[in-house]
Amino acid sequence: MELFEHILFGLILGIAAGISPGSLLALLISETLRGNIKNGILVSISPIFTDIPIILVSLYLLNRLQNFNFLLGIISLTGSVILFYLGIKNIIGKYQDIPTDLHGSFIKGLIINILNPYTYLFWFFIGTPYITGKSFLEASSFVLFFFIGITGSMILIAISIEKIKIFIKSRYYYYLLKFIGFLFIIFGIILTKNSIKYLGF
């Protein structure tokens, strides 16, 4: 029963992370609309590749970092620059002939997630403390089902977007991409504010 609780907790947190509004979800929608379901899936699985190293590092460094706020500030500031770039690209971009760049979708997902301070906040202050002291089976079950939750929910979102994409007229399709570009910029502003707070300015 105790193992089931760890599994359930990881799954719920993963689903919550996957469907929560944020820069990674905006990227998922943007890449699925601009390409196809494969683009969305590659964005969806990117947290697996970014979070595992963060988990391992946080387990080792959690009690050794002397200036964690400064680190989060730098991460936030860098992430905001990336989001501003993606936002401007969506707003001013021309989409009459959009190539399906699968490799680019995966790389974008990696960059957005690894530069998202909330990823570090979650694993340093929620995920890692939770699995600390647990058995290997309990800890690995929590992490595994967290990834099942976040990737599974995001893949379902990508599938839904792909199915309704054929009903979107070209004019509205471009407007939607531009709107997502503005969302990227808004998230960039939020990260900039966070970086100012973390850096103490």
**Residue 20, both tokens:** 């929560």
Residues 6 or more apart in contact with residue 150 via CB below 8 angstroms: 14, 15, 17, 18, 44, 47
How high is the pLDDT of residue 98? Answer: 46
139-182 pLDDT per residue, tens: 999 999 999 999 999 999 889 887 776 655 556 667 777 887 88
How high is the pLDDT of residue 134? Answer: 82
Residues 6 or more apart in contact with residue 192 via CB below 8 angstroms: 76, 77, 80
- pLDDT band at residue 11 using 50, 70 and 90 as cut-offs: very high
* Nearest alpha carbon to residue 68 among 192, 199, 196: 199
How high is the pLDDT of residue 2? Answer: 79
